[in-house]
Every structure is written in C-alpha cells, then in structure tokens.
Amino acid sequence: MKNYVIHDLPEYFKQYKKSIKNPKKFWDKIADENFVWYQRWNKVVKYDMENAKIEWFKNAKLNITKNCLDRHLNERGDKTAIIFEPNDPTEEAQHISYRDLHQRVCKMANVLTDLGVSKGDRVCIYLPMIPELAVSVLACAKMGAVHSVIFAGFSDTAVASRVNDCGAKVIICSDGSFRGNKSIDLKVIVDKAIEKTPLVEKVLVVKRTGCKVDFKEGRDFWLDDLFEKASPDFVTKIMDAEDPLFILYTSGSTGKPKGMLHTTAGYMVYTAYTFKNVFDYQENDIYWCTADIGWITGHSYIIYGPLLNGATTVIFEGVPTYPEPDRFWEVIEKHKITQFYTAPTAIRSLAKESADWVEKHDLSSLRVIGSVGEPINDEAWHWYNDHVGKKKCPIVDTWWQTETGGIMISPLPFITPTKPTYATLPMPGIQPVLMDDKRNEITGNQVDGNLCIRFPWPGIARTIWGDHQRYKETYFTAFPGKYFTGDGALRDEVGYYRITGRVDDIIIVSGHNLGTAPIEDSINLHPAVAESAIVGFPHDVKGSALYGFVILKDTGESRDKENLKKEINNVISDTMGPIAKLDKIQFVSALPKTRSGKIMRRILRKIAAGDFSNFGDTSTLLNPEIVDEIRDGKV
C-alpha cells in the first residue's frame, strides 16, 4: 500500500472530504493503485440500503492471497511474514518468511483439495494460535473455499451449531492447545461436536500438544502425514470480487449466532488501507496484535491487513500472565515490536500488577499502541499511555465491529491529537451519524445518540450466512437507509466520537460479545430453572461481567443454592464455553415485566450495579412489587 497514505491532519481532512464527496472515485483509485487484479471491475459500488444489498468492485477478478503472498515473493521473499511466539517462552520462536509461508499455504491447499474441498465449500477451523491457523485460513482463500474460524475456547455445542449452520464438510483442528500452564484437548471437543453434525466428512488434525487422541479411520487425518507428501505448487483460484471469503460468527440478540459473511475484494481493499494508515506501518516494523484469530480483529489485523502490506506480524499462542505478568512486555522487548495492539481488558488486568513488571523491560522499540474491542476507560487509557507508551506512542483507540470488517473510527498516529477514551475521527470513506430514538438525525456537536453509518464502505459484511432477512432486520431496519451499529456514541465539541457502549442486548465481557438471549436459553436448560434474565454490570477488569436473575421451578428451599449456582455455570460452560459464565447469580421469585411481557432490563441493570437510587418510571410494570423484593434480596 504505497498510495493514499495520510501524512498530516490537513491531508486527513482533505482526503476525508474527497472520500465523502465522491466515494466511488476515492475507492476506485485506492483499489487500482495498490493491488494485483486478474481483471478490473466495471462498477465501483452498487448498493440498496433498504434491502441491504451491497456490492463493491463488481465483476473484478482476483485472489486475496496473490496480494497477501505471491506478489511479495520477488521483493520480500526472505522477509519474515510471521513470527510465532509459543506459549512456553523456552520454546524457540519461529520466523516464517514470505516464501516459506507461501509454500506452506500451497501445500495446505493441496491437502485440502485431496480431502475433497473445492471452491465455495466451507471449512471450519478450530485451532489455537499456531502458524497452521494462518496457513489454513490462507489456503482456503487461495483455493476459493470459505473459511469459518471458530474460537478455540468454544464448547462442543457451540462448535456443532456453527459447523451445521455453515454446512462445513471438513474441520481443521489440533490435538490440543496450550494456554498458560493449562492444556486443553481440542480434538475431544471436536469428536463430541461431530456427534451433532451429520455433514462432517473429514477432520484434519494438527499435532501440537501430543495428547492422546481417538482417530476414526477414514475420517480423521494427521496433517503431518499429508503435508509431507503434498506438492508445493498450487494453481490459485480466480475469484470474483463478491465471492465469499469467510464466515465469522458473532453473538446476536436471539439464540442463534450470526454468521457474518465477508466477501473478497472490498474486504481486501478496506483492511489493507486501514492497516497502513491506522498503524503507520513502515517496511521494517514488527507489528503485534494480541487478539485471537478466532475473532475479527485477528482476521483483519493479524492475517489479512498486515500480509497485504507485506508486514511482519506476530502470532502469540500464550496468555498475558504466563509464566509471569510481564509476558507481553517481555515479548515486545524480545522481538522489538513497533506496533502493539491489544484490548482494554488485558490492559486493566496488567495494570493491576506492580508497574515494576513493565518498567523492567525495554519497550523503546514501540511507536504506536492500540486498543480495540470495548470502550477503554480513563484509568486504563492513562496507565497504557504512561507505562507502555511512555507518553511518546500515540494510542489508537480503534472502534469497529465484526460486521464492519475493518477499523471505522480511530485516531491516525502522529496525526490526530488523541483524547483519552475517545476513538476520535472516522476513517476516510466512513460517515458516522447519530440518530435519536425517533429516527431523527442529531446534528451539531456535543450530542449523543445511536451510532449509524450513512454510506456503505468496502469492508462491510454482505449478509448473514443463510439468512439475509435477519441481516436486513438487524442492521438496516431500525434506521431506514442507514447501517445501525448497535452502539451508542457521543460527539464532542470538536466532532470527536466516543463510543459509550451497546444499546441492545449484547454485553461485552473481556472484549467478547455475548448476547443475553443465548445465555438465558442455555441456563433454562437446567432442569431446576424456570426462567432467567441476564444483564451486565461494571467490572474493573472485564469491563462488564454477567449477572443472572434466575427463577427456580419450585422455590428450591430444599436445594443447596451454592451448588445450584455452580451447576448453572457448568451448563453455560458446556453449551457456550467458559467465557459466558455468570459472575453473580441471584435467585428471584419473578422478573419485572411490562404488561406486554417484556422484561424491564433497565431495572435489573441498576440492581446489578448496586445503584438503587432511582428506578425511573415503573408504572408500566405488571408486578411493580417485585422490584423491591429483588433489590432487598440482592446477593
């Protein structure tokens, strides 16, 4: 990405203006001048926001991996593409060059072809943060298969529902994964998931922990056996601009996760452009994003954005506190990281430790530090700025979503003056608008409202896999003609945006999106539970934690309540994975409901936060007396 790099604030404003005045011309030039194409597009963008139909670079032909790998081979063949930093610091880090990565990707594409995968097929990838994860993703892209990475912390039920939803015939997993001082047997989870997935024909297993695994003859294969024999030559598939690239599941406000579908050309252009500008990536930089590739941040800013720019990107297998709480700082010093991108929840947990853990490391290589996933509070922002950035590295507080494909609102380093807790200004091409609840646009500054986006951008997800109606209803119906983000935001006196949090039934816990409905569905599976309601409450490390109000089928007097709480959390762990566990559970005799039967979550949120000051208007409640009962019985 050589062209369209922004160097100063006046240039940002100039580019921004241009991008809004004539988005087609703006994106046309970026796409034309920075990528390799087999065939050019005949229309930059075609959209119908009413019906949620969006297409970019129509009829262009390309393959994203030609842009991520092949085109770098001449100039950057020996350059390190991926640094793999293992969980155990005594295991040697791996430096994988562009040439080596390209070869591994071609071999993997041949392995997958031999297993019967062809263009358009979906492949689920359930792997820890090891190089094979990136190799699998890129191999799918090279052969035109649609990857769907499932975060390797999800339970067998969650894996099964995703595999079934996208109709994958092949799963790539590992025997197990290392996380800190624990190891998790992933293949066992896949075996259990497969009992609930009639479609799966083949399982490709990467050896990582060496744990014992059960193999089913004809279905399960060790990657090592097939990889060794695979040819390093693979003919890249020619893809259409709008061919699916990947499906990534995100929580919704109903029980079923939403398979967000991203397509090829627009996603490529948007992630490459934003990576270059938001991180100020220079040729010899070593960039590290600590997210998991199981989330969108890992897709766009560990794999695609960096590789599209010929960058060196780090894949870290471990956790921030293993073996000691200075692991992040040690890795920064060891690999001389220049850009470091992490989540507020990680910053808050490390800020709780003594500052000596940071101070004892040389972090002078750092130039830009970033934050993503949830609002960063003032205290965490300052700690990050003082101790990690040493007040010299700009913090890029990047707001975006699985659905947006890439960063939407963020400071540009050394260009946009930062302001604690503010994501600041939109990227060129992005038109944020604030809307009131009556669907009127709120103009001017020092205002707040529902955050929407006016015009499509190349990275926007195109649909929910298999359910376009849900896509349209979730994102394009609340504020007709606009994309609704589900977030609230305020705009300050100079036009900077601050994201205030979700305005829907999604709660962000340690940066993970969790819908209340799927958790409630899962709790209600416990035989003793009649009904439940989940809300978020402030937590000093996780940002928000989960609080469950649970009605038991009988009053439960005879049951051990503490045990019951454990059982409820076990059900959640089994169906969704441990990330959705409740921090607090309160047994109640009823929930506050309106006459139309809706739970008044606003009241439960206040009780969960310990704020009993003013419950507002409770006149529409069918059972107002329950509010006092719940308040007084608070655990």
Question: Binding residues for ligand PRX, per CB under 6 A?
Answer: 250, 295-297, 371-375, 397-402, 423, 485-487, 499, 502, 508, 513
Look up residue 432 and give its DSSP letter: E
Q: Which is nearer to ligand PRX, 98 or 316 (CB)?
A: 316
Q: Closest separation between CB of residue 535 and ligand PRX, Å? A: 16
Number of CB atoms found within 10 A of residue 330's CB:
16
Q: Which is nearer to ligand PRX, 115 or 541 (CB)?
A: 541
Q: Which is nearer to ligand PRX, 435 or 621 (CB)?
A: 435
Q: Closest separation between CB of residue 427 and ligand PRX, Å? A: 13
Q: Which is nearer to ligand PRX, 246 or 400 (CB)?
A: 400
Measured distance CA(505)–CA(562) in Å, rounded: 27
Q: Which is nearer to ligand PRX, 340 or 587 (CB)?
A: 340
Q: Which is nearer to ligand PRX, 57 or 400 (CB)?
A: 400
Measured distance CA(356)–CA(582) in Å, rounded: 33
Q: Which is nearer to ligand PRX, 130 or 395 (CB)?
A: 395
Q: Closest separation between CB of residue 372 and ligand PRX, Å? A: 5
Q: Which is nearer to ligand PRX, 407 or 529 (CB)?
A: 407
- The answer to whether the Cα torsion of 495, 501, 505, 510 is positive or negative is positive
Q: Closest separation between CB of residue 440 and ligand PRX, Å? A: 22
Measured distance CA(8)–CA(5) in Å, rounded: 10
| Residue 266 · residue 28 · CB < 8 Å | no
Q: Which is nearer to ligand PRX, 276 or 299 (CB)?
A: 299
Q: Closest separation between CB of residue 313 and ligand PRX, Å? A: 17
Print burial letters for 189-228: b (CB count within 10 Å at least 16), e (below 16).
Answer: bbbebbeebeebebbbbbebbebebeeeeeebbebeebbe
Number of CB atoms found within 10 A of residue 362's CB:
11
Measured distance CA(68)–CA(49) in Å, rounded: 31
Q: Which is nearer to ligand PRX, 329 or 399 (CB)?
A: 399
Q: Closest separation between CB of residue 406 and ligand PRX, Å? A: 9
Q: Closest separation between CB of residue 430 and ligand PRX, Å? A: 14
Q: Closest separation between CB of residue 380 and ligand PRX, Å? A: 11
Q: Closest separation between CB of residue 522 and ligand PRX, Å? A: 19
Q: Closest separation between CB of residue 297 and ligand PRX, Å? A: 5
Look up residue 459 and give its DSSP letter: T
Q: Angle, to 10 degrees, between the axis of helix 516-523 and the axis of helix 561-575?
A: 120
Q: Which is nearer to ligand PRX, 242 or 397 (CB)?
A: 397
| Strands ordered across the beta sheet of 441-442 | 441-442, 432-435, 447-453, 483-491, 497-502
Q: Closest separation between CB of residue 487 and ligand PRX, Å? A: 5
In terms of phi and psi (left: phi > 0; alpha: psi -120 to 50; beta: otherwise), the region of 510 is left
| Residue 161 · residue 126 · CB < 8 Å | no
| Residue 29 token pair | 């030039």
Residue 305 CA to its chain's centroid (Å): 14
349-350-352-357 Cα dihedral, nearest 10 degrees: 160
Residue nearest to ligand PRX (CB): 402
Number of CB atoms found within 10 A of residue 623's CB:
14
Q: Closest separation between CB of residue 183 and ligand PRX, Å? A: 26
Q: Which is nearer to ligand PRX, 343 or 552 (CB)?
A: 343
Measured distance CA(401)–CA(408) in Å, rounded: 8
36-41-45-48 Cα dihedral, nearest 10 degrees: -130
| Residue 359 · residue 552 · CB < 8 Å | no
Measured distance CA(155)–CA(301) in Å, rounded: 25
